[in-house]
A and B are shown apart, each in its own frame.
Chain A
Amino acid sequence: MTSPDLTTAPTPPASDPSRPGRRLDFGSFWDTWGITSVLVLLVLVAVATTPDFLAISNLQSILRESAYLGIVACAMTVLIINGAFDLSVGGQLALVSVLTLFAYGVGGTGLAVVTALAAGTACGMVNGFLVTALRVPPFVATLGMLFVFRGIAYLLTQNGPATLPYTEVDSPFAQIGSLNLALVPFPFVLMVVVFGLAYVLLRRTPTGRRIVAFGSSPVAARFSGVSAARIRFVVFALVGLAVGIATLTYITRVWTADGAAQDGFELSVITAAVLGGASLQGGRGSLVGTFSAVLLVTVLNDVLVAHGVDASYQNIILGTVLIIALAIDGLRTRFAGVNLLRRSFGPRTPKAA
């Protein structure tokens, strides 16, 4: 509770119980700051190898680009901590983008913003309904809705993609994506605010505590009076709301959307959350980690693009980074809390309870 990090739930006891208090070993460090250290290393490499990396416009571009991924990954982290995940966020983003552009055409900035938030939340509530009321497993429910949401977005854009006309470049709506507050891009500010709110939710509200408790042990949570259905419905709705917010920063940057928008977005989002330390078994996840992982992915892309690396290689590199991160995590869990070498070569001691 006194630790300075945002890690909502540390790893369950893998460490030596005889010396609690001082767990400054590689394991606990990696848990909290692992992916952040990798990000720092990557930035150092980027500064050294890419001449224009530190240019303000480049940094702004990275932060602006990371926002829509980060906002959704933040909510996804909360959902993964709760023990589920949402494969439909890509479909949601496409559908909400199309609807938002239509709404802007009809009622301007105000209606567009309201539409984005409402449509996103509605998508999340559909998922929540399927999972809690109809008891469809999250994997299947959200996989199905991915196709449904995208399908609807395709239907709505049969006569060509929805677009924001170029004449609207100075409208308040278009400003959402391009505005800078004291040099910091507004989308990034929005992302930081979302992470802050998620932190407060998880750490300081009964609902957040119940989200973590249910992800930690659904059975024990049930016997502690946690209503699984209510909690899970809320979290799915929050993911939808996050997609709504993310759409506002996304669509005001690309200005156009159809059913194919952001194909594969759901996997990038889950990748960021898992890179950040979220466990798909539930109970465990880190908002700091996800935040760093989102920036890591964006910086990596930026650097690779700057060096003219082909998009296929970008995918290969991202996949490799994900696997290396989880391999370190797996090895760390196995040897956690002890001097790795001493334990490996020393006499076998009984496993700590």
Chain B
Amino acid sequence: MRILKNFSFLLAVSAVLFGVIEALIILGIVDDYSLQIICAAGINIMVALSLNLISGFTGQLALGHAGFLAMGAYSTGILLLAQVPFPLAILLGALLTALLGFLIGFPALRLRGDYLAIVTLGVGEIIRVLIINLGGLTGGSAGLRNIPGYAQNIMVNNPAAFLWIFPAVAIALALVANLIQSSQGRVLVSIREDEVASQAMGVNIFGMKLMSFTVSAFIAGLAGALYAPFIGYLAPGGFDFLRSVFFVIIVVLGGMGSLTGTILSGLGLTFLQEALRTNAKDWSQAVAGLFGSPTGGTLDLVPMSQVLFGLVLVLLMIFRPEGLLGSYEFRMTKLLRRGQK
């Protein structure tokens, strides 16, 4: 009942939010550029939600979600270029990534402790290197070009992408939220809390971890699948280890085990990263001016975003190690109960 209430609430909020943003787009208040960043944030949020499922709730640190994103994006990109129908290409991209997750998880999740982190880190890099070297299929380091977009007309691609990405984020959220609140979810948390005790209770911890990891890969793959036609051009450089770390930062900042936190920090960090990127040139000129460089603008401040994220993480670990929201969740049922009192 509680799950049902939260679910219908989630659906209602999503629908309202969707309507509001759509209205703002039509009225021209949200311009094409902002919409692009909103879509990018949606992709990031989906990957971060999937990462929170395996790392935040199940307690298995994964450091290769950029690899899953790449797997989904490239699969769908290649399928779209081969004229596979649109919805099928998206679905196949997500399913192939889930299969990959299953195949990686099968050996890696048998081990305890931090092995999954090491294996996923390795696999993420292997995927990237494979993409570079399988030039015939993936375009190599030059990238995969001219992927068909959501709309025939490139000028309206972003609004069309939004129509897909927003519902997908809502579905991913509903999927993870329902999984967490079900009895299966309680079991996943018990694995995070204490594997031995969980096993002593008769939990097949390997099977449960594998389920969680495969679902996680599926959602990350779906994010990648939606990303390919949104961005239209894929290059292996966008799926490196730092990208995986970026997803970890989103999850840790929002709170390991808080979906609300993941969404907020996913939105915030995507916009922050964009702001740092676009303003970096102005700043670098300002900084260069400070040091009296006559040319100005020779200092590259784009990597500063990494420094800033690192600093944020260090401060977070010192002052609020559980993340901004810890394991807090915003729930309508809670609000209603409070209202009745």
Bind each other: no
Which residues of B pack against A, CB within 8 Å?
Answer: none
Q: A interface vs B, CB < 8 Å?
A: none
